[in-house]
A = this chain, B = another copy of it.
């Protein structure tokens, strides 16, 4: 059905179109790539490819352009992920090495990825739900207020100021803190609710109101799923590209956490595999015309790159994979 030469033609079309941004014709194809056949033959192959929906022509008598289906085949069968150059690798290393905390790691990563691919980078914060409690701190501020700080093994810190229902002595707070840490240290966040459920019963009656308030804040913090936070960078790189769907839609999607979340999350069954979502495969209509190259990193979070469907997939995939690996490494080390 699709012999080797037809596939070669498709590959050539994708590569040429990506680099020139112009519909590619049979003559140019036969010339530039050494297919060793005449333009007429190429035309026949093109007709077959078009017949099957891999390419299309914007108008009669223009060259051919890959369809989403064509890109899909290209990504799945015809392309090889391109490894980064040594210089790029070193750049990644030095750029990420200076990060001081989790926030910083994420910020640097997203900028790095945007710069590297000259597209929009998207990074999800490491998932809270998969991490464990490293420490829980209660800091008395006044006799009615306590600063609550939850530290996880991924370096994430959540803090709240809690108004207590009644005054409570510092020593009682210290006791409460000790108990909480004793029963939560190293415990997965998802198990926290179970662990603390019977805690009030083990406390003196006079401490229970304060404990209840604090526990409710703790549970609330867990529920809030801060792993839904996603940051992006490189929006300026969109300015040049032209999308079938307006630029506005893309920017809107980027600022809409929910949309991004769904986009990134939708393919997380194989965490460390690169997933590519091309144009209309996209769940959100505003993002037709864009492709997403994403992968997991760290323990369950995801990062990726969003660009026009007409993007250089091998290079982009190489960059995403490399950055994900480096970041995972850094997160594991800290």
Contacts and interface: CB of A to CB of B under 8 A. Distances in A.
Interface of A: 100-101, 134-135, 137, 139, 141, 147, 149, 151, 155, 157, 159-161, 224, 233-236, 238-240, 246-248, 251-252, 254-255, 334
Contacts of A151: 139, 147, 149, 159
30 contacts: A100-B160, A100-B224, A101-B159, A101-B160, A101-B161, A134-B141, A134-B147, A135-B139, A137-B139, A137-B149, A139-B151, A147-B151, A149-B149, A149-B151, A149-B157, A151-B159, A155-B161, A157-B157, A161-B334, A233-B255, A234-B255, A235-B235, A235-B251, A235-B254, A235-B255, A236-B251, A236-B252, A238-B251, A239-B246, A247-B247
Copies in the complex: 2
A291 to B, nearest CB: 20
Given A238-B251, A239-B251, A137 B134 contact: no
Nearest to A238: B251
A252 B233 CA distance: 10
Contacts of A251: 235-236, 238-239
Contacts of A233: 255
A161 B334 CA distance: 8
Contacts of A334: 161
B135 A147 contact: yes
Contacts of A248: 236, 239-240
A176 B240 CA distance: 55
